[in-house]
Amino acid sequence: MIIVLSLLFDGWVAKLLLSDVYQILDENRTSNELVSALNDEKTAFEAYMRSMDDERSLAQLDAAITKTKAVLRKFPSDYEKLGELRDLKRWSIENAYEVYSIERDSLIAWAKDNDVSVEKLYQVYDMQDYLIKYSQDLMGLTISTGNDVYTAM
């Protein structure tokens, strides 16, 4: 009987450890996906702005935007789960991405019928760099938090 209880207890502990490890890996993957998606979107935007009337580059930009939005939705908006710093970074990225999206879309619409404003173009590039930097910071915090949880096991 003691052996059976011991095996059940060991199985329960292993399940808890594995679920924590899975959560750490999943959070790290999602953070990395965000950095990658934002970089892909920046590359696609640059390619589209160089060509402007290329349907293929517009389709690539649309796909990159869709991917970025999908990754942003993966992040839980749960303060208790993320902690103060990670939740603050997530919130900042989400809000900055909304502002950036408006500016990006406005520039694209304007540029279809007019000359591209270099000032506006570089403003959008700066917003992209800000988003990428913040997503890298979030990834660093996520990895650090995961390491802390893993070390505490």
Q: What is the pLDDT of residues 75-98, one digit of tens each?
A: 777 656 667 788 888 899 999 999
Say if residues 5 and 134 touch (Cβ distance below 8 Å).
no
Q: With both helix axes pointing from N to C terminus, report the angle between 55-74 and 2-51 in degrees, rounded to the nearest 10.
A: 150
d(CA 131, CA 39): 9
Amino acid 49 reads M
| pTM for the full predicted model | 0.82
Helix, strand, coil content of the chain in percent (nearest 5): 90, 0, 10
Chain mean pLDDT for the chain: 82
Are 135 and 108 in contact, with CB atoms under 8 Å apart? no
Contact assessment for residue 75 and residue 90, using Cβ atoms and an 8 Å cutoff = yes
pLDDT digit string (tens) for 93-145? 999 999 999 999 999 988 877 788 889 999 999 999 999 999 999 888 887 77
